Amino acid sequence: MTTKNILVTGGMGFVGSYLVDELIQRGHRVRIFDNLDPQVHPNRKLPDYANPHAEFIQGDVRDYDTLKKALQDIEIIFHKAAAVGVGQSQYEIKKYVDVNTGGTANLLDILVNNNHNIEKLIVAASQTSYGEGLYTCADHGTQHPGLRPENQLKNAHWEHKCPRCKKGMPPAPIPEDAERLSYTIYAQTKTHQEDMVLNIGRAYKIPSVALRYFNIFGPRQSLSNPYTGVTAIFMSRLKNNKHPVIYEDGKQSRDFISVHDIVRANILAMEKSEGDYQAFNVGSGIGTSIEHIALTLSNILGSEHLVPDITGTYRQGDTRHSIADISRIKKTLGFKPSVSFQHGMEELVEWGRDREAIDGFAKAQDALQQRGLI
C-alpha cells in the first residue's frame, strides 16, 4: 500500500497507540485525535509511549468543528475513540451515548456533508453487542439465550440451561450473524457505532469495516482505570497487594486476545478490500475463565498468596460465556491470532511491574452497589 494520510481517533489509547506505531512503521502519515480522558490518562497528560512521529490534535469527538479540522486531507480513518466501561455505562448514560453514538454521528455527518478523500473507514465494534454467547444442547442444538433470570442468579445457579429440556449447555463460539442483544448502554452504543458506519458506508460508497473486538489485553492498558479490561483491573489490585475480586463463581469465561493481534486485524482490514462493508469478530476463538486470569497473573507476579476473592454475588447485565467464532475473518482477511495467552500475560506483567497502579476498583464497585447493580 502506498503512503496514506491516516486519522486515528482515540489514538493515545490502548489499542489506538499500538495501531499508530504500526502505521508509522509502515511509512504512513498519521494524525491522532484524542481528548486524553483523565479516566484513562490521569491529569490529561500525554502517555510516555506517545509516538513523536505522529501529529497530535487534542480534541473530543463531541466537538464537531474540531473533529472537522482533524479530518482535513485524511484518506483512511480508524475510529477508536469511545467511552469504555460496561458497568459505568449503566449510570453515566448521557456520557456514553454522547461520546459513542454522538461522536460517531458527528464523524459521519462531517463526511457526508463535506468534500472528502476517504478511501476506508474502520470502526472498533464490540462483542458486547451479542449479549450472551452461544450454547449447545446435545438434544436441541444451538441456543442463544437471553440474560439469566434474577431468581436463578439469586440461587447461585450460574450456568444456562436448555429452555426445552433444562439440561446444561456448554458454551460455543458465536458467529457474526448471531442476533445482537446488547444488554447494556455500552453495548447498545457500540452497536450504534457499528451500524451507523456500515450504513453510511454502503449508502455513500465509503468502504467500511467493523471489527468486533472480544476481550483485549496487553501492555498500555490503563492500570488506574477501574472500568477497563479485567486483566488490567486484576493487575492493579495485585500490585496494590489486594485480592482480585470476582463475581459469581469465577468459572464464567471470555475470549482474550492480545492487543498485537488486534492491530494486525486492523491492518488487514485496511489493506484488503475483501472485507469492505462487513463486520468481523476479532478474538482467539478460545474461552478462558475469569478465575484462571486472576490465578495466572498472581503466579507470574509471584503473588500466589493473593488468591481471588470469589464473591458469589452477581452484576446486573453480566453474561456467562462469550467466545468468538473467527472463521469469517480467517477466511476473508487471512487473520490468525499469533500471540499465545501465556506469552501475552507475561508481557503484560513485565510491562506493568514498575508502572503506577491506582486501585479504583472499590470506588467503582460502590457506585454499582449504591444503584442496585450488584
Quote the cell numbers at residue 224.
488506574
For 69-86, write each residue's pLDDT tens digit: 999 999 999 999 999 999
CATH 3.40.50.720 residue window(s) in the chain:
5-133+174-314+322-369
pTM assigned to the model: 0.96
Confidence grade of residue 359 (pLDDT, cut at 50, 70, 90): confident
Q: What is the DSSP letter of 98?
A: I
| Statement: residue 355 has pLDDT above 90 | no
What is the third-level CATH fold of 5-133+174-314+322-369?
Rossmann fold (3.40.50)
- Residue 38's identity, in one-letter code, is P
Arithmetic mean of pLDDT, 195-217: 99
Arithmetic mean of pLDDT, 195-208: 99
Residues 6+ away with beta carbon under 8 Å from 270: 1, 76, 78, 120, 122
Confidence grade of residue 250 (pLDDT, cut at 50, 70, 90): very high
Confidence grade of residue 356 (pLDDT, cut at 50, 70, 90): confident
What are the residue numbers of the active site?
A: 186
Confidence grade of residue 43 (pLDDT, cut at 50, 70, 90): confident
User: For position 114, what pLDDT does the model report?
Assistant: 97
Q: Which residue carries 452497536 as its cell?
A: 191
User: For position 262, what pLDDT does the model report?
Assistant: 99
User: For position 227, what pLDDT does the model report?
Assistant: 83
| Statement: residue 366 has pLDDT above 90 | no
User: For position 42, what pLDDT does the model report?
Assistant: 85
* Separation of first and last alpha carbons in the chain: 49
Following DSSP, what letter does each residue of 299-365 receive, concatenated?
HHHT-TTS--EE-----TT--SB--B--HHHHHHH-----S-HHHHHHHHHHHHTTS-----HHHHH
For 301-331, write each residue's pLDDT tens digit: 999 999 999 999 999 889 999 999 999 999 9
Q: Which of 132, 2, 126, 113 is nearest to 67 (CA)?
A: 113
CA neighbours closer than 13 Å in the CB half-sphere of residue 312 = 3
**Percent of the chain residues past pLDDT 70, beyond the cut:** 100
CA-to-CA dists, residue 233 to 83, 114, 238, 246, 307, angstroms:
17, 42, 9, 11, 15
| Mean pLDDT for the chain overall | 96
